[in-house]
Amino acid sequence: MKKKKALATMLAAVMALGMTACGSTNTTSSSTSSTDTASTTSKENTSSSSAAQTTADEGAPYEVVLEWPAIGNTPTEENLQKIEAAINEVTVPEINCTVKLYPVELNDLSNANTLAISTGEKVDLIVSVSTGVGTLVDQGLIVPMDEYVDTYGADIQRKLGDALSNGIYQNQLYGVSSAYIQAESYGFIARADLLDAAGVEIDESKVYTLDELSDIMDTVAATQQVGNGFYMVANINSTSDIYTSFFGSVDTLGASTASGGLLLTDGYDNTTIENIYGSDAYADYAKTMYDWAQKGYIPADAASNTDDGQVQLKTGNYFGEFYWTTPGGAEGIGANVGYDFKKIHLAEPCKKTSQSVLWSIPTTSENPQKAFEFLNLLYGDNDIDDTLMFGLEGETYQVVEDNGTDRVVKFVDGIDAASAPYYCYAGVYGDRLTWSIWEPNTIDFNQQLRDFNDSITAASPALGYSFEITDDISSAYSAVSAVVKQYTPTISAGAANPDTYLPQFIQDLETAGINDVIAENQKQFDAWRAAK
């Protein structure tokens, strides 16, 4: 449940970024190759012609049933049909198919996908959020897509580049990620007005240490009535694992910390998988959070709190929160909560294997090739992306500015996301770097993201590797995951003394079997490296 909530927040943040200045995710989703992205343009229809050339010989159009992840906002059937009709105007002449949208609640994607496919329901494209594709493959619910990539996947290959490896499982391609930046930047976003009042200047080109962030906290806290209704850190709640979520210094190898990870603070050539929670870096983090809690920087009830960080920030009673510091992240939060924020980077962006958002073809698809052709079209024709995400121009949104490459849009007068006849909160379709830009972002917003993507040079040595949770360690993996979920919110909230709490956490992880899981992960990783 923790992952589902985190990814729902991330995907909603991506939409907030699109509307008010972007965010991830991730939850972090995958992005385009750094060699490809900068030249991508948003309003060009660049779909490959391979599939289109075959349409004349195919007879009646095939209906592609496309999953539509909802976050409590499913449009009426009438409004869904309007979107389908607009998409069909493109897809029928291009690849001889029509589209039927299949709404599923985002927080129930995993269960809904398993139920639909196992009962034989016709679905052609499903999306997995944070769960990867391993379970679906092991249950025989999705098909490999390798045979379609070279013939029908030119746009997918062009937009994803190295990130196409995110969907590989057991040496076959089972998932295609949405195209976005290849790595996120992580850190802490801090209210600019409070920094100014305390005389603190932030260098947004610098990567700060946790000790330096603590010094900033101390300086600003001295100007506030900390602990008396005002706190320094928002977004710590009953599901928080702040260290692995927002420090960006851990590669969980396509899985989670329950199977260990690579500490990238030890260098980008580190190939030793370890228990992240037993590392010196995590111990320093735990001590810092406890120190902050003792100083009143973190609310005493943070470990049991269920409020979203933006809800807390909007009250004006918080200095900032751990968040993505990717271009647009702080701006998006600021527009939503009414304050300007500065970015305090805590880790440089690094390319890692990500399985945050993956599109797959179920075994119940009656035409997997056609499903893949449509999926490829999403990466080549951005008008379809915009229609799926934002609805119809003139009905949901209007164009404010268009420079021929990117465009800025806003809602039609009198409506918002809640009242729009159609609006998709979940940012999962096609190439995020070419979507329309939402006010108050400026026309250069997507170009900032493309430039940021081109600037990413660091890469994990495990890029392209994903841990396979085999039957012999699946029970241990589940047990370790439960222990992680039990302890990490308390540590993130600084609610327990790490001198005693952290050793107990590590002991319980080992009792649950984390060392066995890590050993299997290391064995698979070593074999993967040897085969490269």
pLDDT of 21 higher than 80: no
pLDDT of 43 higher than 80: no
Phi and psi at 99, nearest 5°, equal: -125, 135
pLDDT confidence of residue 265:
85
| Domain 59-177+352-442 shares a fold with domain 186-351+472-531 | yes
CATH topology of domain 186-351+472-531: D-Maltodextrin-Binding Protein; domain 2 (3.40.190)
Token digits for 90?
A: 């493109």
The CA-based dihedral angle spanning residues 357, 22, 105, 486, taken in that order and rounded to the nearest 10 degrees: 80
Contact by Cβ (8 Å): 24, 14:
yes
pLDDT confidence of residue 329:
87
Burial grade of 507 (CB within 10 A; 0-12, 13-18, 19 or more) = exposed
Question: Three-class SS of residue 378?
Answer: helix
Q: Please give the Cα distance from 129 to 163 (Å, whole number).
A: 16
State whether the Cα torsion 504-510-514-519 is positive or negative.
positive
pLDDT confidence of residue 282:
96
pLDDT of 33 higher than 60: no
Q: Which amino acid is at 470?
A: T
pLDDT of 17 higher than 70: no
pLDDT confidence of residue 426:
82
Of 56 and 71, more confident: 71
pLDDT confidence of residue 184:
86
Among 316, 342, 347, residue whose Cα is nearest residue 329: 342
Q: Please give the Cα distance from 257 to 6 (Å, whole number).
A: 15
Provide CB contacts within 8 A for 330, sequence distance 6+: 21, 189, 323, 341, 342, 343
pLDDT confidence of residue 388:
95
Contact by Cβ (8 Å): 178, 127:
no
Of 215 and 15, more confident: 215
pLDDT of 3 higher than 90: no
pLDDT confidence of residue 277:
98
pLDDT confidence of residue 55:
52
Among the listed ranges 3-12, 28-37, 49-58, 183-192, which one has the minimum average pLDDT value?
28-37
Confidence of residue 238 (pLDDT cuts 50, 70, 90): confident
The CA-based dihedral angle spanning residues 217, 25, 351, 521, taken in that order and rounded to the nearest 10 degrees: 100
Domain spans in the chain, listed from the N-terminal domain onward? 59-177+352-442, 186-351+472-531
Q: Please give the Cα distance from 109 to 453 (Å, whole number).
A: 29
pLDDT confidence of residue 170:
84
pLDDT of 346 higher than 50: yes
Query: What is the arithmetic mean of pLDDT over 112-128?
Result: 96
Q: Give buried/exposed letters for 58-69 (b at 16+ CB in 10 A, else e).
A: eeebbbbbbbbb
pLDDT of 26 higher than 50: no
Provide CB contacts within 8 A for 281, sequence distance 6+: 249, 263, 265
First and final C-alpha spacing in the chain: 35
Token digits for 481?
A: 């995951």
Going by DSSP bridges, is the β-strand pair 126-129/357-362 parallel, antiparallel, or unpaired? antiparallel
Confidence of residue 27 (pLDDT cuts 50, 70, 90): very low
pLDDT confidence of residue 62:
98
- Across the chain, mean pLDDT equals 88
pLDDT of 56 higher than 50: no
Which pLDDT tens digit goes with each residue over 142-178? 999 999 999 999 999 999 988 898 898 888 999 999 8
Q: Please give the Cα distance from 376 to 148 (Å, whole number).
A: 10
Query: What is the arithmetic mean of pLDDT over 324-335?
Result: 89
pLDDT of 35 higher than 90: no
Angle, helices 210-221/280-294, rounded to nearest 10 degrees: 10
Going by DSSP bridges, is the β-strand pair 176-177/357-362 parallel, antiparallel, or unpaired? antiparallel
Query: What is the arithmetic mean of pLDDT over 441-450?
Result: 94
Identify the architecture of domain 59-177+352-442 in CATH: 3-Layer(aba) Sandwich (3.40)
pLDDT confidence of residue 134:
83
Which pLDDT tens digit goes with each residue over 355-384? 678 999 999 999 999 999 999 999 997 689
Going by DSSP bridges, is the β-strand pair 407-411/437-438 parallel, antiparallel, or unpaired? parallel
Angle, helices 382-390/368-380, rounded to nearest 10 degrees: 90
Query: What is the arithmetic mean of pLDDT over 439-461?
Result: 93
Contact by Cβ (8 Å): 318, 312:
yes
Query: What is the arithmetic mean of pLDDT over 25-53?
Result: 39
pLDDT confidence of residue 57:
57
Query: What is the arithmetic mean of pLDDT over 185-189?
Result: 94
Q: What stretch of H or E contains 232? A: strand 231-234
Contact by Cβ (8 Å): 378, 385:
yes
Which pLDDT tens digit goes with each residue over 125-142? 999 987 788 889 989 999
pLDDT confidence of residue 307:
82
Provide CB contacts within 8 A for 209, sequence distance 6+: 346
CB atoms within 10 A of CB 209: 10
Token digits for 124?
A: 């052609």
